[in-house]
Amino acid sequence: MSLLLQYVANGLAAGSLYALVALGVVLLYRSSRVLNFAHGDLATLGVFVAFTALARGWPYPVALGAGLVGTALVSAAFYRLLIKPVRQATALSLVITTLGFALLLSGLMVWIWGTDTKVFPFPLSEVRVYRLGGVVVSELSAGSLAVGLLLVAALSLVVQKTRLGLAMRAVAQNPVAAQLLGVPAGRVLAATWAVAGGLGAAAGMLLAPAVLLDPFMMLDPFLKGFAAAVLGGMDSLPGAVLGGVVLGVAESVFAGYVSVKYKATLAFVVIVAVLLAKPEGLLGRPFHRRV
């Protein structure tokens, strides 16, 4: 029994990170109808910025903050310069633009920081563990879960209770109508992209101490985050969280009891199954196209 709980605990820790990534993906999809394939690389960029800041001796809060802010700015700039100006943007060209940006970013990161694996210092330790019954949870995993919950709570607070959140929801629903009512859609969308970037960077910073930092560390978690977003529903923020947690736990239990080899395949099978059976995901609303 404790073995099962251990797998579930591992899954929750991984799932909280998938949830953070998924939140960023869903946030952008809801507002701009863009699938941002550069999300993972943006997150990694933020971690590298924080890494450099830490190496220069900056204190933790400042360095991590710099990483978050850096990613937010780059993300917003990307939106402003490359997404917004393209008038007749089709879904296809947007996807490709983000793919190109992802390639550009990963090339840049290797160029500047090199490909050797680095240790990312972090206030929470990966090695110090708490034992609850037979289950081992590292300080970092517990911290990731806590931070993840905090960020989700903060985000839902912003989206539901603040004026910015109201504006974001308005722009997501109908950009033209929102603009007619005086909402500065461009600025709101840039802010949305910045927030999404920040969320990604946060996920990256929680991941890096555990998996060691290198330019490609977010590749796998990013795809899993995507799967989680699909599972939960591409236009539902709570769905992203649910999807992340469910995927994390399912993956961990599957690897433990069924097959370690096919652990990675599970995420993709999930995507395919969800898209075939219920494309809008667990908590999403069915997608209706206006003709």
Site for other proteins in 190-229 (CB under 8 A): 207, 210-212, 214, 216-221, 223, 226-227
Complex with other proteins: residue 167 or 274, whichever CB lies closer: 274
Q: Is 124 in the site for other proteins (CB under 8 A)?
A: no
Looking at beta carbons only, is 111 or 180 nearer to other proteins?
111
The strand pairing partners of 137, in sequence order, are 130
Residues contacting other proteins: total by CB under 8 A = 78
Interface with other proteins (CB under 8 A), residue from 129, 164, 170, 282: 129
Tokens read off for 268? 């993709």
For 162, other C-beta atoms within 10 Å of its C-beta total 11
For residue 93, state whether it binds other proteins (rule: CB under 8 A): yes
Rg (CA), the chain: 19
Angle at the Cα of 215 (from 96 to 63), degrees rounded to 5?
110
Q: Of 119, 149, 153, 180, which one interacts with other proteins (CB under 8 A)?
A: 119
Q: In whole angstroms, how far apart are CA 9 and each of 136, 215, 275?
A: 8, 27, 28
Place of tokens 């073995």: 3
Q: Which of 117, 160, 162, 173 binds other proteins (CB under 8 A)?
A: 117
Nearest distance in Å: CB 1, other proteins: 14
Stretch that binds other proteins, among 43-51, 63-71, 161-169, 247-255 (CB under 8 A): 247-255
Q: How many CB atoms lie within 10 A of CB 132?
A: 12
Contact between 1 and other proteins per CB under 8 A: no
Binding of other proteins at residue 60 (CB under 8 A)? no
123 near other proteins, rule: CB under 8 A: no
Enumerate residues 6+ apart whose C-beta is below 8 A from 247.
15, 18, 224, 227, 228, 231, 267, 270
The reply on whether position 180 binds other proteins by CB under 8 A is: no
